Structure 1
Amino acid sequence: MENDNFDVIIIGGSFAGLSAAMALGRAIRKVLIIDAGKPCNEQTPHSHNFLTQDGETPAAISALARKQVLAYPTIRFENDLAVEVSGKNNDFTILTAQKNQYSAKKILLATGVKDIMPNIPGFTESWGISVIHCPYCHGYEYKNQNTGILVNNEMAFEFVKLIDNWTQKLTLFTNGKPTFDKAIFKKIVNPDFKIVEKEISELIHDGGYLKKVVFKDGSFQEMDALYAKIPFAQHTDLPVKLGCIFDDMGYLKVDDFKKTSVQGVYAAGDIITPFRSVAMATAAGTMAGASINKELIEDKY
């Protein structure tokens, strides 16, 4: 296949990957973006805290971004899944699910993470719509509404303090016996706040919009929104195959220039940080693209 040698291969074509590609395209670098089309925010109806695009759908923002990025003639986009990686700095090889093979001097990992949903009927269907993870992304839309927090660990108090800023109609659901000291919650200055320890059987929703939290004893509580801290996994094992180092939370370690521990390998987006937003992923991608271009220049001298 022609044109299979690139300056940079970007694995992951969402906001971080596209932003890096634009920086590199404007630096006249030959770039390949490989994307499998599985963004973690595909159910999210609106994106916020991104100037000029507040309230737009992530899909619409991404489509416009891709159109603008691919206007640069040195950038190529492939709908495919990167499954294998080998090589070293200035000589990497990528193999895809469609049996295509590409080589590049540098690699940017922008593969994101996948959320691991609890076994609660209705949770997955509501995730990103009314079952949410971030008040900065979604809190304004649910301000002053009946809001729950589903968490049962030492972070519960900090999360309650945070969400209390957006609503006083607040309930902490532990979904079983609490694993933390409830005494600290006496500090919460909110007469409506309560802790419910009953186990949850399902979430009743209408098209992803929460209506009720139903408990195993048959009782229920009406609810408009539910914040949840759930575990995640990396979308791909490519960082492991490359030998990249992860931090204690499971995110890829990078420096301020988005360099990983492996020479010639960079990372950006949700793969490196718990602060998941379009704006932050875009900023990280721009930094990674500029840093990669600088390294390519330095490699010449």
Structure 2
Amino acid sequence: MDTSHTSSEFDAIVVGGSYAGLSAAMQLARARRRVLVIDAGQRRNRYASHSHGFLTQDGREASAIAAEGRSQLMAYPNVTWQEGTAASAVANGDGFDVALQDGHAFQARRLVLATGVVDVLPPVEGLADRWGSSVFHCPYCHGYELEQGDIGVLATGPMSLHHAMMLPDWGKVTLFLNEMLEPDEGQLAALAERGVAVERTPVARIAGKADVVLRDGRSFPMAGLFVMSRTHNSPLAEALGCALEEGPLGMYVRTDARQASTVAGVFCCGDAARIAGSVALAVADGAMAGVAAHQSLIFGALPAA
């Protein structure tokens, strides 16, 4: 059923209807549990036209994968889909209360957070306009399609060295330090061994497809540009008391191997619970979270260690 629920009480509420949330909800639905999915319609990869690296779906439109996943999930009559943004989530006895921004409230015995993250890009002119089309963060998702062309890495911090060391497998790489990073001698030697050129002149803007224009006027046409975004997590996990950890790109929810958070009955999956992720990893995490949430309804919920 779709937004036509007859009860505000569910076995599980899944917050987030993208790949991880859909996968989690599918496991619970197939266990014949009453499931509510709350979704704000803001997939993290909505800026990318195609998804890569997900078995059987390689090269398919990202939106089509999500749409088919929702269609298959909603074939189960015990699933309710609620459009909206979850504004709060609190523990209440042996369950949880979730309220939307519009005031609607729902209760469930288990909670699965599949909220994803929000990418925050450095304030370089033209960068955000090309996010997902010629500016990327994941080499495994987008590197192959650059056809071994010229690839730029825009430094945002120490993790950009990791990017620069990886990407020569996909093309000829230039690391633009942009006053955000200064490699030491050992790091410079490692970059040189990988064939990475280092450019210290600051970046003025991104133009054309992915042309890196420096402040001195020089321009470097690139087949694609990679940048490590900072990620912001949903406030729901922290408000519930779930432990967070600081990753190289931002905060993420600490979970165990079964995607259980440190709060009993709360599971977290997808990019919100990973240092970095992909569609394939999100689907896998979601499946585990859904299975674990279901089994906790039978055997009891324990927090992650």
Do the structures match in fold with TM over 0.5? Answer: yes
**Counterpart Cα distance in 2 of 1:275 and 1:64:** 24
- Residues 1:290 and 1:176: Cα distance change in structure 2 (over 3 Å): same
- Residues 1:81 and 1:147: Cα distance change in structure 2 (over 3 Å): same
Cα deviation digits, residues 18-51 of structure 1 (max 9, x gap): 0011100000000000000111111101101111
**Counterpart Cα distance in 1 of 2:192 and 2:246:** 33
8 A Cα contact 1:89 1:106, kept in partner: no
Match of 1:179 in 2: 182
5 Å matches for 1:242-257?
242-249=240-247, 250-257=251-258
- Residues 1:177 and 1:131: Cα distance change in structure 2 (over 3 Å): closer
- Residues 1:258 and 1:89: Cα distance change in structure 2 (over 3 Å): farther
Q: Which amino acid is 1:193 matched to?
A: V
**Counterpart Cα distance in 1 of 2:101 and 2:166:** 42
8 A Cα contact 2:122 2:156, kept in partner: no
Q: Residue 248 of structure 1: CA displacement?
A: 2.3
5 Å matches for 1:194-233?
194-205=197-208, 209-210=209-210, 212-233=211-232
Indicate which of 206, 224, 240 corresponds to 2:238. 240
Match of 1:106 in 2: 110
Indicate which of 164, 170, 173 corresponds to 1:170. 173
Q: Which amino acid is 2:294 matched to?
A: N
Match of 2:159 in 1: 155
Structure 2 residues not aligned, in runs of 5+? none
**Counterpart Cα distance in 1 of 2:38 and 2:187:** 48
Indicate which of 3, 7, 13 corresponds to 1:3. 7
5 Å matches for 1:83-102?
83-88=87-92, 90-102=94-106
* TM-score, normalised with respect to structure 2: 0.91
8 A Cα contact 2:245 2:252, kept in partner: yes
8 A Cα contact 1:153 1:180, kept in partner: no
Cα deviation digits, residues 223-282 of structure 1 (max 9, x gap): 111111121111x21111100101121110000011000011000000011232111100
Q: What fraction of aligned residue pairs are identical, expressed as a percent?
A: 35
- Residues 1:188 and 1:87: Cα distance change in structure 2 (over 3 Å): closer
- Residues 1:177 and 1:64: Cα distance change in structure 2 (over 3 Å): closer
Number of equivalent positions:
294
5 Å matches for 1:48-59?
48-59=52-63
8 A Cα contact 1:69 1:75, kept in partner: yes
**Counterpart Cα distance in 2 of 1:198 and 1:45:** 32
> Per the alignment, in what secondary structure is the counterpart of residue 262 of structure 2?
coil
**Counterpart Cα distance in 1 of 2:75 and 2:245:** 37
8 A Cα contact 2:165 2:194, kept in partner: no
Match of 2:47 in 1: 43
> Per the alignment, in what secondary structure is the counterpart of residue 270 of structure 2?
coil
Match of 1:32 in 2: 36
- Residues 1:156 and 1:120: Cα distance change in structure 2 (over 3 Å): closer
Match of 2:143 in 1: 139
- The two structures, once aligned, show a CA RMSD in angstroms of 1.8
**Counterpart Cα distance in 2 of 1:177 and 1:6:** 48
Cα deviation digits, residues 38-83 of structure 1 (max 9, x gap): 1111110110111111101111000000000000010010111100
Q: Residue 190 of structure 1: CA displacement?
A: 5.7
**Counterpart Cα distance in 2 of 1:178 and 1:102:** 47
**Counterpart Cα distance in 2 of 1:154 and 1:38:** 29
8 A Cα contact 1:157 1:185, kept in partner: no
Q: Residue 193 of structure 1: CA displacement?
A: 3.1
8 A Cα contact 1:177 1:197, kept in partner: no
8 A Cα contact 1:253 1:261, kept in partner: yes
1:79 to 2:83 alignment? yes
**Counterpart Cα distance in 1 of 2:198 and 2:116:** 33
Match of 2:275 in 1: 274
> Per the alignment, in what secondary structure is the counterpart of residue 288 of structure 1?
helix
Match of 1:262 in 2: 263
- Residues 1:177 and 1:63: Cα distance change in structure 2 (over 3 Å): closer
- Residues 1:22 and 1:181: Cα distance change in structure 2 (over 3 Å): same
